[in-house]
Amino acid sequence: MVTILKSTIECNDTRLGKSFDIFIQVMIVLSLVSFSVETLPNISDELRTYLYRFEVFSVSIFTFEYIARIISADDKKKFIFSFFGIVDLFAILPFYLSTGLDLRTLRTFRLLRLVRILKLARYSAAAKRFHRAFIIAKEELALFLFAALIILYLAGVGIYYFEFPAQPEVFSSVFHSLWWAVATLTTVGYGDIYPITVGGKIFTFFILILGLGVVSIPAGMVASALSKAREMEDD
């Protein structure tokens, strides 16, 4: 019995194991969709009932899976306190604890279960290549992240001095200005906060010339590290 459970749950090689894996992943995706639908403002009582029933069903499945994984684990204690053991517990716990409190937040832990999908990719060539690419570019990425943080802070403080006198309500502190720096240097530019003084605009120009590179170079770096990793593989 335990052997069958084990081969179903832990092996991805057998047909039954693969089917079970795919079923659980579909259930995860469906329960995330159901959770998202529940947040819609004007849903009918009928739909809400259906969603609740699906919730009961999916939690039953996840509870069964959780217990099955404990039974089939060689070292039960180790599984319970492992990353995936805790994730699996947190995905069902809120349902059983729902004592009037709004525990829907905890249900988002189910999202972490999506990480299981990555397990399938664990042994794929692409994932290995990525891992190698990150190791190749690790130091440069850290350097750039650090440089990006310094430039963000510099941009925030700089614009504060230019814009605070003109827009005390918008650029009301260095922290508000940092929000501007984030939205600007990532080029999102919502338009909720922007410089209106001549000095602030010229400052924005210079900080963008400096900062755009810092923000966009890392992506190119990972891409070229990847092609490097691919070459290493070919050798």
Considering the complex, state which of residue 50 and residue 70 has its C-beta at the smaller distance from its own copies: 50
Number of residues that bind its own copies (CB under 8 A): 75
Cβ at position 76, least distance to its own copies in Å: 30
The DSSP line for 43-62 is --HHHHHHHHHHHHHHHHHH
Confirm if 91 and 65 have CB atoms less than 8 A apart.
Answer: no
Considering the complex, state which of residue 89 and residue 178 has its C-beta at the smaller distance from its own copies: 178
According to CB under 8 A, which residues from 56 to 115 bind its own copies?
105, 108, 111, 114
According to CB under 8 A, which residues from 7 to 36 bind its own copies?
32, 35-36
As a residue count, the chain comes to: 235
According to CB under 8 A, which residues from 176 to 215 bind its own copies?
178-179, 182-184, 186-192, 194, 196, 198, 201, 204-205, 208-209, 212-213, 215
- The verdict on 224 binding its own copies (CB under 8 A) reads yes
Confirm if 55 and 81 have CB atoms less than 8 A apart.
Answer: no
Cα–Cα distance, 129 to 133 (Å, whole number):
6
- The verdict on 157 binding its own copies (CB under 8 A) reads yes
Considering the complex, state which of residue 60 and residue 227 has its C-beta at the smaller distance from its own copies: 227
